[in-house]
Amino acid sequence: MAVVLGPNRYGKAETRVVRVTRDGEVHHIKDCNVGVSLSGDMREVHLSGDNSAVLPTDSQKNTVYAFAREHGIGQIEDFALLLAAHFVESQPTIHHARVEVEEYSWERRGPHSFARSGAEVRTCVVHHDRDGTSTVVSGLRDLVLLNTTGSEFHGFVRDRYTTLPPATDRVLATAVDARWRYASPDSRHFGKSYEEARRCLVEAFTGTHSLSLQQTLYAMGGHVLTTCPEICEVRLALPNKHHFLVDLTPFGLDNDNEVYHAADRPYGLIEGTVLDDRAPAAGPAWD
């Protein structure tokens, strides 16, 4: 048996950076979490401890802060592309860079006052290779949506362990984790595409009479693709945030779909991909 080194990468995870832009009395804020992963000619550092090919992770962290100062942070995809290209092009031993950015949203409450706006997070992952090729996957997570009616679930397989009754009117709730891939990354699209894709996800969820969460997932991804031609693939993970009717008969009360118990676990998890069948191959984009 021979022991060999397999695929590997290293980097700096979760560098929190807050960039304040002061435009006179009015300030603007970008609150981000940045992860960097680099790979390339790293054989000797693993086999012999020779660090001559290694750009320290502390240097990667400092680069994030320096670039936030020198270049600002506009669309997070542009910031990630800038960082990824820098690491590959400035270090001969680095052949591939992966940069992930999460952005936390703040709502303006005055010229220089803000309030954190919920749990929803905007995301992106950028890959950049030495040949200059870049891929961009944008997305969001923890977009919480709920329909109090317009959802059914029946006609499913029943076996000896099935106790779930069929439902013709149920609450449907989820916390959307959505990612979408661009056919050809273009910085002109990122901001508008994010707003349009988010709008489409919400519209399709609220506007679909659902016979299953899988059907709703397909409608959400399809609406994004038909509205945003620059996007060629959408991946969705939709936890089914179950709401169970409470039995109030012990108290002499009926419950006509009015009082529910919101269960946090266990939950169904529905995942799927919706894509343009003409889409170019994804490569490492989703990694």
- Which active-site residues does the annotation give? 12, 57, 242
Tell me the C-alpha distance between 131 and 145, whole Å.
Answer: 41
Q: Nearest 5°: phi and psi at 248?
A: -105, 5
By the 8 A CB rule, do 140 and 123 touch? yes
- 3-class DSSP assignment, residue 206: helix
Tell me the C-alpha distance between 75 and 59, whole Å.
Answer: 23
Residues with Cβ within 8 Å of 214's Cβ and at least 6 positions away in sequence, in order, are 270, 272
- Residue 118 Cα distances to 54, 104, 208, angstroms: 39, 9, 25
Find, among 123, 104, 124, the residue nearest to 115 by Cα: 104
Tell me the C-alpha distance between 233 and 193, whole Å.
Answer: 13
CA 271 distance to own-chain centroid: 13
Find, among 37, 31, 105, the residue nearest to 73 by Cα: 31
